[in-house]
Structure 1
């Protein structure tokens, strides 16, 4: 798209990068090299730029990101930001070596002198020094492997000796429909292995990540803390997740229009006689979902009325006016906005729509909510209730799942519904693809009880052995 040039170039455009208070800005010059028609095909908000240690764009790194974006119809820039960060870490390491431009393409006969093996050794040292987590090191090495594959495929160079050694094998797994599938997997000897260790006492459920269902008391305490800190929006966002099982991107991309219906139609809840408002979410609704899945959120009648009251409040109106002042007349404003009038979470559709006046430097992905929990809610609960307390916003989804599971378990035990009916309801409410994930919630409480019962029983036996040793053994010579 462009190339670095000098200030004397008549087509030069100045780009200024701030260096912090008290330091002069760093300026460089670039020019476009595409014609007007081609240029229209490369318009991206939040395009991640790979910089070297002198804050100059690294041409090969930027080209690599750009060519991957070309194949995407709906790119998620946060994903490419991560790739750019990993490439920038590799470039930083290169720039600390002698002749970095030569080293990048230097693949001699001696394996350990090749940059791929040298970088792997560097990452391993960072892991041993506890300066880098194994998972981050694994991801960074994977990014470098992909980068070199791209360089070779696109004929940027042909290494004299292979950048790594490959091993191919078949990996078998079952799809969500239960079909057996074999997939060819290619592994390299520069990959960094991460040993998986499961803590049986962590109390987590694997549902799009390790989630920890909060106890009833913990749920009360975090909402109590949010009220005490006076953050109405974060209270309502957390309450919405606890009541519907929605993810943060769904709760934060609710639209004003969804709660302006004067005569909403309420239906019977799947879990009882309570009335709910069925809110469609997914592509075409303005509400984001994971993997663009389409579904229905069951919003309790009382919560819908509360959110409608908020939508019509003076507080929400002031925030929308600030949003409009920045964005102009917006036809579909968000329900929740920060005090400055910015979204808590930028919708996918809005991210993909190119805006030449776009002035933000990062994607809004719920950071204000997470920061509020970290700075205010967690310290509040630790100070008053539990010094070891911790949680993440996504844990509230698991908390909803367990709340529903325990409610329905009581109905199964009373004979009101069958166990199979219970599984179907939990699966539908949680939007699970597979019953395997649903069963993690159904088995969670009994599994944790069994673990602690086994540990406590063994602990009692162990204590008897210790007492026996104290009585029958001499420790003095």
Structure 2
């Protein structure tokens, strides 16, 4: 099956002589560390997609994380092409047999049966369309080929002063609409797990998962850090933890690009993460364990200070990415074993739900003891949210869940009371 890997890209230029081609490194061009590249099942590179990734990464103001996001969607498309045994340039006269039309139909089927969120399907299709637009502009695919039907959409925008303007956007008949779910949605559309389920997941991970995954889940439930932050923790980050002056038994970890050493955070937010002394002791003990030191010995010079390393001495994730192939494999195995052991909490469990759970429980406690205004301030600080609107989702969710629980209890008591009267 097609694979997605990272390479360290160094630009070279070709010097063509009479019968030889000499490649020389471009001194004025910057190398790209962690460039995503796709290979087919026979380890043959998908040259067109990989070239697109290079151009996207070299574009001015383009974030490498955005390139990874796009290539992740192209990778999913590549796996579908291999599964269907078709080619990316397959555009016959019959519209229903064209590869892009068939792929859109596959995404829509995945939405209907609940395998894929509509937002994810929308992003996948949009990334594939961007890739094909580039293929056409680069003449790697004939612009005359019947790929899709273009359409123009006008979006009306009203500014703060009431003035209206219309923004014209180009779209295609292959675009997928994002049908948002009714109700309050947290980050990535995920929901928290209960405190009982969180304990069951952590306990089972300690027994059946690798020590690294068990510790990462413990930090996720205990601190609310995203996976990209957990995977990028440095040894010095833990060694420089300082006691929190306002919270007994808690320490502060400095993360973000402004921390020393820097630790990846979403949107580059710098701040302090609360960590309980027991969790800090657990990861500190792991730092100097024989298991980790063996992995550190295999690591390259740039990764030796990483707290979490795979058995090959490489870091989890791709240079601050919130996704990791190694994590997906380990977590998928843990989910399978957990369901086989009769733990329903593992059904569709994702690592980011540790963050949702931490934030929701923190919001409930803050609302109970200090009200909504204080809860917003505490949750935003603890989770390093860039925008207050993200924090408000957790506050509303926590406030609503408490109200719904009380309403359900009241309804149950009333219903049972009426039922008892009817019995008498």
| Normalised TM-score (structure 2) | 0.72
Output the CA distance in 2 between the equivalents of 1:181 and 1:274.
Answer: 54
Q: Does the aligned pair in 2 maintain the 1:65–1:84 contact within 8 Å?
A: no
Output the CA distance in 2 between the equivalents of 1:392 and 1:223.
Answer: 13
Give 2:130's match in structure 1, choosing from 135, 146, 151: 146
Q: Give the equivalent residue in structure 2 for 1:303.
A: 279
Q: Does the aligned pair in 1 maintain the 2:35–2:53 contact within 8 Å?
A: no
Q: Give the equivalent residue in structure 2 for 1:341.
A: 313
Q: Give the equivalent residue in structure 2 for 1:241.
A: 220
Q: Does the aligned pair in 1 maintain the 2:220–2:226 contact within 8 Å?
A: yes
Residue 258 of structure 2 is aligned to residue 279 of structure 1: no
Residue 195 of structure 2 is aligned to residue 216 of structure 1: yes
Q: Give the equivalent residue in structure 1 for 2:289.
A: 313
1:152-196 CA distances to partner (integer Å, 9 max, x unpaired)?
Answer: 555776649996332131254899xx9999783514242333351
Output the CA distance in 2 between the equivalents of 1:114 and 1:230.
Answer: 50
Give 1:267's match in structure 2, choosing from 232, 236, 244: 244
Q: Does the aligned pair in 1 maintain the 2:253–2:273 contact within 8 Å?
A: yes
Output the CA distance in 1 between the equivalents of 2:163 and 2:389.
Answer: 15
Give 2:102's match in structure 1, choosing from 122, 131, 155: 122
Output the CA distance in 2 between the equivalents of 1:331 and 1:121.
Answer: 43
Q: Give the equivalent residue in structure 2 for 1:292.
A: 268
What's the secondary structure of 1:440's corresponding residue?
helix
Aligned residues: 392
What's the secondary structure of 2:263's corresponding residue?
coil
Compared CA separation, residues 430 and 34, structure 1 to 2 (3 A): same
Q: How many Å apart are 1:147 and its aligned residue?
A: 3.8
Q: Give the equivalent residue in structure 2 for 1:360.
A: none
Give 2:186's match in structure 1, choosing from 206, 220, 223: 206
What's the secondary structure of 2:244's corresponding residue?
strand
Q: How many Å apart are 1:55 and its aligned residue?
A: 7.2
Compared CA separation, residues 309 and 251, structure 1 to 2 (3 A): same
What's the secondary structure of 1:402's corresponding residue?
helix
Residue 406 of structure 2 is aligned to residue 406 of structure 1: no
Listed as ranges, the matches of 1:77-226 within 5 Å are 78-82=68-72, 84-85=74-75, 88=78, 113=93, 118-126=98-106, 138-139=122-123, 141-151=125-135, 153=137, 159=144, 164-172=149-157, 184-194=167-177, 196-198=179-181, 205-207=185-187, 209-226=188-205
Q: How many Å apart are 1:394 and its aligned residue?
A: 0.6
Q: Give the equivalent residue in structure 1 for 2:53.
A: 65
Output the CA distance in 2 between the equivalents of 1:82 and 1:184.
Answer: 29
Tell me which structure has the larger Cα radius of gyration: 1
C-alpha root-mean-square deviation of aligned residues, in Å? 4.7
Q: Give the equivalent residue in structure 1 for 2:355.
A: 397
Q: How many Å apart are 1:215 and its aligned residue?
A: 1.0
Q: Does the aligned pair in 2 maintain the 1:402–1:441 contact within 8 Å?
A: yes
Q: Does the aligned pair in 2 maintain the 1:281–1:295 contact within 8 Å?
A: yes
Q: How many Å apart are 1:333 and its aligned residue?
A: 1.8
Q: Give the equivalent residue in structure 1 for 2:37.
A: 48
Compared CA separation, residues 147 and 305, structure 1 to 2 (3 A): closer
Compared CA separation, residues 330 and 49, structure 1 to 2 (3 A): closer
1:58-77 CA distances to partner (integer Å, 9 max, x unpaired)?
Answer: 66544433322221565235
1:98-130 CA distances to partner (integer Å, 9 max, x unpaired)?
Answer: xx97x77x9xxxxxx597994454335435766
Gaps of 5+ in 2: 1-10, 419-424
Gaps of 5+ in 1: 4-8, 12-31, 107-112, 349-362, 413-417, 465-477
Residue 373 of structure 2 is aligned to residue 420 of structure 1: yes
Compared CA separation, residues 297 and 124, structure 1 to 2 (3 A): closer
Output the CA distance in 2 between the equivalents of 1:313 and 1:121.
Answer: 53
Q: Does the aligned pair in 2 maintain the 1:311–1:335 contact within 8 Å?
A: yes
Output the CA distance in 1 between the equivalents of 2:99 and 2:63.
Answer: 32
Q: How many Å apart are 1:399 and its aligned residue?
A: 0.9
Residue 394 of structure 2 is aligned to residue 441 of structure 1: yes
Q: Does the aligned pair in 2 maintain the 1:244–1:298 contact within 8 Å?
A: yes
Give 1:374's match in structure 2, choosing from 325, 332, 343: 332
Compared CA separation, residues 240 and 171, structure 1 to 2 (3 A): farther
Compared CA separation, residues 402 and 126, structure 1 to 2 (3 A): closer
